[in-house]
């Protein structure tokens, strides 16, 4: 047995994942809502991160040294400069983008209200009124199950020996079009600043719970830019969403979703 398992798990097996192993359930666990909070609460004892994933989503592990090497502010500043260079002509031209026949023209997107990289959104303080990150993660899991999102039933419970959820994504080599080193560096930072936790990845979709979302519009604008620079296709691009509208929707929002085409 590569590592000791918590009690009460459903049937499953160990899988090699690069030089290490992960544990994966044989089916989607019927009692995952009951099991999930306990696994999160026992992380300090067993060092295992749970998340939901398609078996096919486990790819080639990424060494954490690649994540450590990402200088997040510098990378995002350079990415924003290039992103703004490419998109500025569209932001400054209010002419509606041609839409397919029978579809209302897409609204004009003025883009982010920044000419230069403005820095990261500030950390949200821990308060007695806010849920814990573990409570927020359990709440998002319950929402996903209640909604019955397409592809969720094909997920399996995966346990990864890792310190944090962002590292678990790297160590399992989540297979998607996402820029994994940058994404994991962002997730690490969101964990620290917002109490974010990775809950599920299936296909090219990522679901993240948020215990302490921004509550001010200015902070949400900064965070929205970080979301844009994750390169996820659903952020302001698909469906077309003006940046101010996307940012406004982040105020108080306790779950974020991303997908890459």
Work out how many domains the chain is built from and give that number. 1
Most confident of 54-58, 96-100, 138-142: 138-142
Strand partners, 20: 17
Instruction: Count other C-beta atoms under 10 Å from residue 13's C-beta.
Output: 10
The pLDDT of residue 103: 77
Residue 32 within any structural domain of the chain:
yes
**What SS3 state is found at 17?**
strand
Residue 82 within any structural domain of the chain:
no
Summarised one tens digit per residue, pLDDT across range 14-64 is 999 888 899 999 999 999 999 999 999 999 999 999 999 999 989 889 999
Residue 99 within any structural domain of the chain:
no
Residue 84: which pLDDT band, with cuts at 50, 70 and 90?
A: very high
Residue 158 within any structural domain of the chain:
yes
Summarised one tens digit per residue, pLDDT across range 214-231 is 999 999 999 999 999 999
The pLDDT of residue 229: 97
Summarised one tens digit per residue, pLDDT across range 202-212 is 888 999 999 99
Q: Is the pLDDT of residue 141 over 90?
A: yes
Residue 95 within any structural domain of the chain:
no
Q: Is the pLDDT of residue 135 over 90?
A: yes
For residue 52, what is the enclosing H or E element?
A: strand 48-53
Instruction: For residue 158, give the nearest of 44, 25, 21 by alpha carbon.
Output: 25
Summarised one tens digit per residue, pLDDT across range 66-75 is 999 999 999 9
**pTM attached to this predicted model:** 0.94
Residue 142 within any structural domain of the chain:
yes
Residue 147 within any structural domain of the chain:
yes
Beta carbons of 12 and 53 less than 8 angstroms apart: no
Range of the domain at 133: 12-69+117-259
Q: What are the residues whose beta carbons fall under 8 Å from the beta carbon of 214, sequence distance 6 or more?
A: 121, 124, 194, 220, 222, 223, 250, 251, 252
The mean pLDDT of 108-134, rounded to a whole number, is 95
Residue 92 within any structural domain of the chain:
no
The pLDDT of residue 78: 98
The pLDDT of residue 176: 78
């Amino acid at each position: 047995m590569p590592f000791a398992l918590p009690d009460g798990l459903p049937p499953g097996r160990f899988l090699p994942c690069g030089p290490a192993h992960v544990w994966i359930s044989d089916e989607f666990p019927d009692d995952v809502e009951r099991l999930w909070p306990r696994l999160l609460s026992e992380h300090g004892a067993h060092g295992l991160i749970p998340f939901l994933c398609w078996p096919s989503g486990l790819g080639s592990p990424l060494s954490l040294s690649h994540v450590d090497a990402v200088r997040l502010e510098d990378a995002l500043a350079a990415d924003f400069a290039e992103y703004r260079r490419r998109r500025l002509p569209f932001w400054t031209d209010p002419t509606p983008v041609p839409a397919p026949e029978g579809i209302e023209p897409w609204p004009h997107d003025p883009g982010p209200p920044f000419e230069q990289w403005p820095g990261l959104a500030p950390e949200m303080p821990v308060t007695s009124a806010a849920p814990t990150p573990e409570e927020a993660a359990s709440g998002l899991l319950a929402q996903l199950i209640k909604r019955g999102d397409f592809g969720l039933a094909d997920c399996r419970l995966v346990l990864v020996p890792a310190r944090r959820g962002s590292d678990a994504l790297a160590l399992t080599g989540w297979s998607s079009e996402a820029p994994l080193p940058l994404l994991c560096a962002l997730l690490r930072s969101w964990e620290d600043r917002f109490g974010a936790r990775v809950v599920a990845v299936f296909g090219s979709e990522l679901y993240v719970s948020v215990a302490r979302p921004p509550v001010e519009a200015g902070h949400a604008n900064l965070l929205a830019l970080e979301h844009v620079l994750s390169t996820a296709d659903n952020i302001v691009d698909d469906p077309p969403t003006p940046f101010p509208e996307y940012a406004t929707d982040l105020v108080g929002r306790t779950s974020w979703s991303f997908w890459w085409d």
